[in-house]
Amino acid sequence: MQHSIQAWGRTAAKLAGAIVLGVIVGFMLGHVLAGLCLVFGALLAWQLFNLFRLDYWLRARSTRDPPDVDGIWGDVITNVVRLHRRKRYHKQRLLRVFREIRQSTAAMPDGVVVLNGQHEILWFNRTAQRLIGLKRNADLRIRITNLVRDPEFARYLHTDDFTDPVMIAPAVGSDVYLSFQMVPYGGDQLLMLVRDVTRQARLESMRKDFVANASHELRSPLTVIAGYVETLGSDPTLDPELRPPLEEMRRQAERMTLIIHDLLELSKLDESDEELAGEPIDVPTLLAMLRKDLLSRASHPLVSLRLDSDALLLGDELEIHSAFSNLVDNAAKYTPAGGSIEIRWFSDSEGGHFSVADTGIGIPAEHIPRLTERFYRVDPGRSRATGGSGLGLAIVKHVMQHHGATLTITSVDGKGSTFMCSFPTTRLLRPRAVASLGS
């Protein structure tokens, strides 16, 4: 700043000197005005010349050195040079960062595709190109649903919930399972991550097949053993000493049959995670039947049925029966004599709810989040003694998934538990609506 004030001072002094010179020369020639015009003309020519040099250099600044001028023009040129260098430095830095980002995303083992709000492709990396078969220039600005033609993917893209990825089975002529996950960013843009999950999908399918096959294979020999045990047990000539071990064998065979039955049921439920449409189920009748069953089997606590809704439930009757009966059976298993059980069906603005509340042994809070895991038991000894397979709540969880429903467990250790299945309103049907459907 100081330097610039000095330069302006010097320029002003020079100008004043030139005017004085012009006046003197004009005076000597007898025409002061002519002398002044001469001086201003020369000054103007000098400024124009410097302007021309600056303009010339600016046009060819990448190949030429800046003109060597002093005074205020020198200052202007120095400032222009400084600005130009600073701009070039920032531009190169930005370019370097941009190139590094591009190189790192291009080298990522996951596919990355950038989509705009209309789901058109703006950019993709090499892995995405290989996994989805995109073409470098031809596929830019093309809607992703035109290239990934899968109804499941289209559904996923149109939901707003991108918390979990979606897995797509191989297209015809391919054996690659792909997982897609959307990450919204910067307004309405989407970053689509594509992953090859063939290995995990195969392992998962091998696990499912193995459980289903093993259970299936075990079923026949077990039926034979159970049959012989039964026959032996009913033989009147049997040594009385052999009766207790035989009775224990019968009970264990029964338990194994139950485990295999539940494993097979779970394998069937496991085949798909998709929601089922289903038929209208008369829940009140189903619950009345479950209650009757329970009362006929057990010397059991008070079982009350509270029906606060006559809504029908749209679902798979076998699956719903299995889930509800598992919950009712559990309530009976874990409620000692003297306790009570309440089975309830009600609806509110959020949907329909089936609940089973017992005054049984309850569940310590730390176990609740893990109850629906396969074979998870709060007290393994006790559960085995009650004859449970350890798969009941896993089955309930799967059935809920198939119906877009949720399972809520609340419990106070030592006081009792409540298991509630909540179904969305879209799964409820008023009986009147069904009557009009039938007519």
From the CB of 288, what's the least distance to ligand ADP, in Å?
20
Judged by beta carbon, residue 105 or residue 383, the one nearer ligand ADP is 383
Collapsing DSSP to helix, strand or coil, 182 comes out as strand
Judged by beta carbon, residue 269 or residue 394, the one nearer ligand ADP is 394
Q: How far apart are CA 282 and CA 294, in angstroms?
A: 19
From the CB of 257, what's the least distance to ligand ADP, in Å?
14
Alpha helices for 234-282 (secondary structure H): 243-270
Judged by beta carbon, residue 35 or residue 416, the one nearer ligand ADP is 416
From the CB of 388, what's the least distance to ligand ADP, in Å?
2
Judged by beta carbon, residue 390 or residue 424, the one nearer ligand ADP is 390
Token couple for 380: 């393994």
User: Which residue has the closest beta carbon to ligand ADP?
Assistant: 388
From the CB of 295, what's the least distance to ligand ADP, in Å?
17
Q: How far apart are CA 58 and CA 95, in angstroms?
A: 23
From the CB of 258, what's the least distance to ligand ADP, in Å?
8
Nearest to 147 by CA among 137, 159, 135, 164: 135
What is the residue whose two structure tokens read 């040079």? 81
From the CB of 283, what's the least distance to ligand ADP, in Å?
20
Judged by beta carbon, residue 84 or residue 261, the one nearer ligand ADP is 261
Quick one: residue 192, left, alpha or beta (phi over 0 = left, psi -120 to 50 = alpha)? beta
Phi/psi of residue 250, nearest 5 degrees: -65, -40
Q: DSSP state, 390?
A: S
Q: DSSP state, 164?
A: S
From the CB of 373, what's the least distance to ligand ADP, in Å?
8
What is the residue whose two structure tokens read 């479950």? 290
Collapsing DSSP to helix, strand or coil, 298 comes out as coil
Q: How far apart are CA 210 and CA 215, in angstroms?
A: 8
From the CB of 249, what's the least distance to ligand ADP, in Å?
21
What is the residue whose two structure tokens read 């093993």? 214
Judged by beta carbon, residue 121 or residue 331, the one nearer ligand ADP is 331
CB distance 152 to 178 below 8 Å: no
Q: DSSP state, 347?
A: E
State the DSSP string of 195-245.
Answer: EE-HHHHHHHHHHHHHHHHHHHHHHHHHHHHHHHHHHHHT-TTS-GGGHHH
Judged by beta carbon, residue 84 or residue 367, the one nearer ligand ADP is 367
Q: How far apart are CA 169 and CA 189, in angstroms?
A: 26
From the CB of 272, what's the least distance to ligand ADP, in Å?
21
Token couple for 161: 């919930």
> Which residues in this chain contact ligand ADP in the complex, by CB under 6 A?
326, 330-331, 334, 358, 360-361, 363, 371, 376-379, 383, 388-394, 417
Judged by beta carbon, residue 114 or residue 328, the one nearer ligand ADP is 328
Judged by beta carbon, residue 208 or residue 384, the one nearer ligand ADP is 384
